[in-house]
């Protein structure tokens, strides 16, 4: 069976060259349809969702536990393991090929299984078991360090030796399109003697990728590079909304808490690790060499383009405020997972790992408003004379990501969130 990333591979469904969802992608998500279809698992192909439960009714998929596709989350399917993931994806690809009449020429099966994207609602694609956010872009960590500690002390002594992270809140991970209420919290600007409790005034985004863990690891055991890689089901775009003024007061001595707990948005489609295979690249040279348990024998970064658009309420079109690439990350997703388990921490099906803010070496590649506006000292100008240092009520933020192939792109769709006022 040809690999689903073959350059000549195309679907019998017409897919535009700039579509995020060609046959080379086949990302998984959870959808419901206007006809009353309850939330269940589907795959994106062009402008359609392929209903895997319907497709499997006559045994076409070869998955014996077909009820995994009737679930309102991907966790049961992910629990079946990497061999089933790969086999199922290959079979879906085979059924969608332009030269395979099996589904193409079966009008009844085709009409039941293919649902126009315009007629569906997309849901959170997984039940998030646990959420951990990392801090793995050297450029981002350096920018923030320069702002608050000065150029000579930008990186903390441990940063080049291990992926730094903190445990976030799985309960407030939401799907794209969910409105984000401005958080309230304790605020204490340097000029104030005592803190007050009020809505956040310095609300920010963080452009990240999310790793979806599809296999568990036992408590008390470490992971090899190969084991960690095979546990990764796929990736989503992730917006780690951040309340900078709440964070500034609370983070000493234990780090982020309420400043990050109010919402984390992810894109609805999980792009599989297999779909991203052609876009693997080596990350930055790591100096000093990591300790043996963190060393990598293969490239574990991805040439994945990302951009961020900001739309103010008075502006019809979003303005691009960031364009960067996932390949710049100093610590790879595999290293993050190896480090996470290294203490003996058990990983679960449905765990979500945020990459940390993705910034690049150039100014237009900064992945947060904290960096873009340099902590509020350099406002950005949108159209119509609108300026921003941090997010205001009514602002909408859109993140997109894709890997560019030869005549096709493997994309993630988008993750969007609009800020609403605090109650």
Give the catalytic positions in this structure: 140
CA 362 to chain centre: 22
Alpha-carbon gap, residue 413 to 175, rounded angstroms = 12
Q: Quick one: tokens of 8?
A: 């000549």
**What DSSP designation does 246 have?**
H
- Beta strands 207-213 and 352-354: pairing type? antiparallel
Cross-strand bridge partners of residue 306? 324, 401
Nearest to 345 by CA among 221, 215, 216: 221
Nearest to 13 by CA among 108, 95, 109: 95
CA 182 to chain centre: 22
Residue 282 near residue 301, CB atoms below 8 Å: yes
**What DSSP designation does 214 have?**
-
Nearest to 146 by CA among 371, 381, 338, 324: 371
- Beta strands 242-243 and 165-167: pairing type? unpaired
Classify the phi-psi angles of 395: left when phi > 0, otherwise alpha if psi is within -120 to 50, otherwise beta: beta
Element (H, E) at 82: helix 82-96
SS3 at position 226:
helix
Alpha-carbon gap, residue 37 to 70, rounded angstroms = 10
Nearest to 415 by CA among 78, 173, 52: 173
Other beta carbons within 10 angstroms of residue 339's beta carbon come to: 23
C-alpha dihedral over 388, 390, 396, 399, to 10 degrees?
100
For the four alpha carbons of 177, 73, 352 and 256, in that order, the dihedral sign comes to positive
Cross-strand bridge partners of residue 159? none
């Amino acid at each position: 069976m040809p690999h689903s990333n073959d350059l000549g591979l195309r679907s019998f469904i017409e897919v535009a060259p700039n579509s995020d969802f060609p046959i080379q992608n086949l990302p998984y998500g959870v959808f419901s349809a206007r006809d009353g279809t309850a939330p269940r698992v589907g795959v994106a192909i062009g402008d359609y969702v392929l209903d895997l439960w319907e497709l499997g009714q006559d045994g076409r998929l070869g998955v014996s536990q077909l009820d995994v596709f009737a679930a309102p989350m991907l966790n049961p399917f992910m629990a079946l393991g990497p061999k089933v993931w790969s086999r199922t994806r290959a079979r879906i690809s085979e059924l969608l090929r332009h030269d395979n009449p099996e589904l193409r020429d079966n009008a009844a099966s085709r009409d039941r299984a293919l649902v126009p994207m315009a007629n569906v609602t997309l849901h959170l694609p997984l039940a998030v078991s646990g959420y951990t956010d990392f801090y793995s872009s050297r450029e981002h960590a350096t920018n923030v360090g320069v702002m608050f500690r000065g150029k000579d002390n930008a990186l903390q002594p441990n940063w080049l030796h291990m992926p730094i992270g903190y445990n976030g809140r799985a309960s407030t991970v939401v799907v794209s399109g969910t409105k984000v209420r401005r958080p309230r919290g304790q605020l204490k600007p340097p000029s104030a003697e005592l803190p007050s409790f009020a809505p956040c005034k310095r609300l920010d985004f963080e452009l990240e990728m999310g790793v979806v863990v599809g296999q568990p690891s036992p408590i008390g055991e470490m992971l090899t590079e190969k084991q960690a890689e095979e546990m990764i089901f796929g990736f989503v775009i992730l917006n780690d909304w951040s309340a900078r003024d709440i964070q500034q007061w609370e983070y000493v001595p234990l780090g982020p808490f309420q400043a990050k707990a109010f919402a984390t948005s992810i894109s609805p489609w999980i792009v599989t690790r297999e779909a991203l295979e052609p876009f693997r690249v080596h990350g930055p040279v790591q100096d000093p060499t990591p300790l043996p348990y963190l060393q990598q024998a293969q490239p574990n970064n991805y040439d994945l383009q990302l951009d961020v658009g900001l739309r103010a309420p008075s502006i019809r079109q979003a303005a691009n405020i960031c364009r960067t690439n996932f390949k710049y990350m100093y610590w790879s997703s595999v290293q993050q997972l190896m480090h996470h388990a290294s203490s003996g921490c058990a990983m679960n099906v449905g765990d979500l790992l945020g990459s940390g803010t993705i910034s690049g070496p150039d100014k237009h590649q900064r992945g947060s408003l904290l960096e873009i506006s340099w902590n509020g000292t350099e406002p950005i100008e949108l159209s119509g004379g609108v300026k921003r240092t941090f997010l205001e009520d009514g602002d909408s933020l859109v993140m997109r990501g894709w890997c560019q192939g030869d005549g096709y792109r493997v994309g993630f769709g988008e993750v969007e969130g609009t800020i609403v006022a605090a109650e």
